[in-house]
Amino acid sequence: MNSYLRESLKSDIELLQSVNDSLLGNAGKMLRPLVSLLIADACTGGNITEDAIRYAAATELLHNATLLHDDVADEADTRRGVPTLRSRLGPCAAVLVGDFWLSSAMQLVVGTKHQDKATKRFSMAMSDLAAGEMLQLEKAMSADTSVEDYLRIVRCKTASLFVVASASAAVASDCSPKMLEAAHHYADALGVAFQIKDDILDYTGDGSLGKPVGIDLLEQKITLPLLCAMKDSSREQEIRQMVKEIPQHPDYCGQIRKFVEEQDGVRKASLVLEEYVNRALDALEHFPQCRAKEFLSQLARYNSIRTI
């Protein structure tokens, strides 16, 4: 899988090759290709197909392309604890390199045995990613995010990548429709749980995620801890108005964080997190007992305890 990544990103343009090497050297957790390969392993009893390996690499390329674009949209200076490409070479370079990684991902899919089904899934993921970004932007301006809006954004922006990683691996493994559906449900629940945990850590973490704690509020993002805190609170409209005015009053962030703490928003969000962890575990019941299935189970449970 790593060989496919490196080969896909080769370029005779010195600057582009240097940037690609630098990005690969700070690859992060690589959870999506890990999920992809484990699903393929579970579907085939360890006989992972070449298509599945190519799709796993493609999901990592697609994921990192979205991060490069996100850093431009968010004007982010750091990612995974190091300066972003946007901050080093400017937004134009970051967008262009993101496009290069995106096209490299699709080139890995093209020409494979299962390319028709896989291409549809990768295309759907890219559409979801764009739609999720736009919905999040709309809701940041209006500050009227509901739980339903939040979950839709999470499914589009985060879970969609886990779903394409998992479902494309299942497709590449020629598994049964029932197992393909289970792979989809597992990845969707895993992705939602993963994002909920990230949003909780934005209130409770120590900054080791590679971005400053509290950045979501500064970007006027109403995430699950705040939504849980506002539920049944007489201050909901007041808090939403404060979120709307954060660009003019960044000091409101501290007051809102205190409100979340007082209303037990983090604990309530953690209960929702556990619901999605359990959904992921339930989906795995459709897979035969094997080592890969146990690892997938551990990945789901990891969301409950991780601190990064």
What residues does each domain of the chain span?
Answer: 2-305
150/140 Cα distance (integer angstroms)? 11
As a whole number, mean pLDDT of residues 143-164 equals 97
As a whole number, mean pLDDT of residues 64-79 equals 90
Output the pLDDT for position 206: 61
Where residue 80 falls (left for φ over 0; alpha for ψ -120 to 50; beta otherwise) is left
279/277 Cα distance (integer angstroms)? 5
As a whole number, mean pLDDT of residues 278-305 equals 96
Output the pLDDT for position 86: 95
Tens digits of residue pLDDT in 206-245: 655 455 667 899 999 999 999 999 999 999 999 999 999 9
Which residue in the block uniquely carries the two structure tokens 């597992």?
A: 186
DSSP characters for 181-233?
A: HHHHHHHHHHHHHHHHHHHHHHHH--STTSS-TTHHHHTT---HHHHHHHTT-
Tens digits of residue pLDDT in 16-25: 999 999 999 9
Per DSSP, what are the bridge partners of residue 79? 82
Which residue in the block uniquely carries the two structure tokens 């699950």?
A: 224
Percent of the chain with pLDDT over 70: 97
307/288 Cα distance (integer angstroms)? 31
Q: How confident is the model at residue 107 (pLDDT cuts 50, 70, 90)?
A: very high
Output the pLDDT for position 271: 97
CB atoms within 10 A of CB 285: 10
Sequence-separated (6 or more) residues with CB below 8 Å from residue 94: 68, 69, 71, 72, 84, 85, 86
Output the pLDDT for position 278: 98
Output the pLDDT for position 209: 47
Output the pLDDT for position 81: 79
- Could you tell me where the beta strands, DSSP code E, fall in the chain? 78-79, 82-83
Question: Residue 270 pLDDT > 60, yes or no?
Answer: yes
Sequence-separated (6 or more) residues with CB below 8 Å from residue 236: 230
Closest CA to 59 of 154, 159, 177: 159
Max Cα distance, the chain (Å): 61
**DSSP code at position 55:** H
* Domain 2-305 of CATH type 1.10.600.10: yes
Tens digits of residue pLDDT in 171-199: 999 999 999 999 999 999 999 999 999 99
As a whole number, mean pLDDT of residues 99-117 equals 96
8/105 Cα distance (integer angstroms)? 8
Percent of the chain with pLDDT over 90: 89
What value does the mean pLDDT of the chain take?
Answer: 94
Output the pLDDT for position 153: 98
C-alpha distances (whole Å) from 231 to each of 107, 235, 251, 260 are 46, 9, 23, 11
Output the pLDDT for position 307: 84
Given a contact cutoff of 8 angstroms between Cβ atoms, the answer to whether 189 and 276 are in contact is: yes
